[in-house]
Amino acid sequence: MPKAGKTYGPRIKAPNYAQIDKDAEQQVLKDLGLERPEDAVSARPDDLIVKAARIVEQADAEVALHLDERDQALAHLWFYEQRLGLSRTVGLTPMGHRHVLAKMMFDDKRHPLPDGSNEELVQAAEDAGIERVKDAEEKLLKTAPIVYAARARRDVAVRIMQEAVFALSQTPYDWTPETIAEHAGVERNLIYKQRAAARRRRGL
């Protein structure tokens, strides 16, 4: 909510994240050779897990490439320009948005953010070494959808990986987590986590 006695810059229109979610799912399904998520049940899990692992790897690389620029632009707009509605602009919950800013300022996502007048916010940001970003709005609108889409693709691929891990753990495969990890080219601990997540969904 806007505070009395404090001025704010204009809201930035949010990208269509609902459409980005839909497009991300369709892209992952296409890359996996599926038409619908439920088609994963009848696909070969040993093929699916390799393809899904590559999608996750690519998504992580894309996030790593753009996340810092997104966060720096976000911080500039929040601290130096005091723009409203930034959580929606970047496709985060209000809490997620505050966690990003607190992590940048205090290296602790749960640390309370400073509050006060426009001038006090600017001073707090300068004291914390938050960089000013030229063309911050343009950079935020460029990078935020890229990061969001990559994470959306990752979420879909991880869900498929979890189902593939569960299938490979069962008859007729009966693969161990170590065998699955080696086949997929990922860390063993990841397979244990994914198998546990798939089991929880089944109430096991």
Do you know the residue count of the chain? Answer: 204
Per residue in 156-185, pLDDT (tens digit) is 999 999 999 999 999 999 999 999 999 999
What are the distances in angstroms from CA 190 to CA 1, 112, 119, 128, 175? 40, 32, 46, 36, 15
Examine the pLDDT at 127 and tell me if it is beyond 80: yes
Q: What is the pLDDT of residue 2?
A: 47
Q: Which residue has the higher pLDDT, 7 or 60?
A: 60
- What single DSSP character describes residue 186? S
**Mean pLDDT, rounded, of the chain:** 94
Per residue in 95-114, pLDDT (tens digit) is 999 999 999 999 999 999 99
Per residue in 27-51, pLDDT (tens digit) is 999 999 999 888 888 899 999 999 9
Examine the pLDDT at 64 and tell me if it is beyond 50: yes
Q: Which residue has the higher pLDDT, 1 or 151?
A: 151
Q: What is the pLDDT of residue 39?
A: 85
**Across-strand partners of 9?**
83
Is the whole model's pTM more than 0.85, yes or no? yes
Residues 6 or more apart in contact with residue 75 via CB below 8 angstroms: 100, 101, 104, 105, 125, 130, 131, 133
Sign of CA dihedral 43, 47, 49, 55: negative
Examine the pLDDT at 118 and tell me if it is beyond 60: yes
- What single DSSP character describes residue 39? G
What number is the average pLDDT over the span 73-101? 95
H or E stretch at 43: none
